[in-house]
Amino acid sequence: MAKSAQLYRMATDEHICPFGLKSKDLLERQGFEVDDHLLTSRAQTDAFKQQHDVETTPQTFIDDKRIGGYDELRSFFNKSPAGQQGTTYTPVIAIFAVTLLLSLAFSLSGAGLSMYTLELFVALTMAVLAIQKLQDLTSFSNSFITYDLLAMKVIPYAYVYPFLEAFVGIGMIAALPAYSIAPISLFIGSIGAVSVIKAVYIDKRALKCACVGGDSNVPLGFISLTENLFMIAAGLWMLVK
């Protein structure tokens, strides 16, 4: 006998509930036939919530027993909570991985693997990290000034920093003269490295890193320090080369 479930989810002309769609998909992947009840107006949705004394939709019923919303449904099937929980390095790892693959792709399509591949990796990483910060400068600055030693003293520096990082990354790819980008890379990288070392390893503060934007859950630590070490190494390499 096929397993069946009753699903009530909001689907109006203005809004289709994403968690309703995810609940339906999860039920079907668990082998359930879903009796899909669409709540097609705000009034219908409010009436349903009042009738069943619930605050949100979707709501799933199995064997006439209310399971609850999407999170409760995942728990019912012994699945971990959806989305990222707590602090995570995933955003930074994703950026590093993609920019590394891009640098390899550029190199393999041209002269092959060389020191230029590493230069591309650093430059692309800096540019993409800058994009993450520039999406919401206010949010980035709110996080950045809590640990960057210069930004604490000179607040406007927090708003300028992402532009400087982008300039260095783009400048490296464009092969601008070393004297125009290396000093900037060394400057912001050195201040950043000292700031992270002081905040994390000396003061032992548990902070979130602003490296991928102010709203991230990336913990301030070694991976955060890596961004600054990249800048220092890039600046030194450009001057030496």
Determine the residue type at 43.
Answer: A
pLDDT of 80 above 80: yes
The pLDDT of residue 88 is 67
Determine the residue type at 128.
Answer: V
Of 46, 62, 51, nearest to 7 (Cα)? 62
Q: How confident is the model at residue 86 (pLDDT cuts 50, 70, 90)?
A: low
Neighbours of 45 (CB within 10 A): 20
Q: Which sign, positive or negative, has the C-alpha torsion 123, 197, 207, 149?
A: negative
3-state secondary structure of 90: helix
CATH class of the domain whose range is 3-76: alpha beta
- Residue 178 contacts residue 190 (beta carbons within 8 Å): no
The pLDDT of residue 112 is 72
Residue by residue, what is the 3-state secondary structure of 154-220?
CCHHHHHHHHHHHHHHHHHHCCCCHHHHHHHHHHHHHHHHHHHHHHHHHCCCCCECCCCCCCCCCEC
pTM of the model: 0.70
The pLDDT of residue 94 is 77
* Cα distances (angstroms) measured from residue 131 to each of 23, 95, 125, 187: 34, 11, 10, 20
Determine the residue type at 165.
Answer: E
Average pLDDT, the chain: 88
- Residue 202 contacts residue 180 (beta carbons within 8 Å): no
Task: Give pLDDT tens digits for 134-165.
Answer: 888 888 888 889 889 999 899 899 999 999 99
* Domains in the chain: boundaries: 3-76, 90-240
The pLDDT of residue 111 is 62
pLDDT of 85 above 60: no
Alpha carbon 214 to chain centroid, angstroms: 10
The pLDDT of residue 175 is 87
Q: Which two tokens stand for residue 30?
A: 């668990």
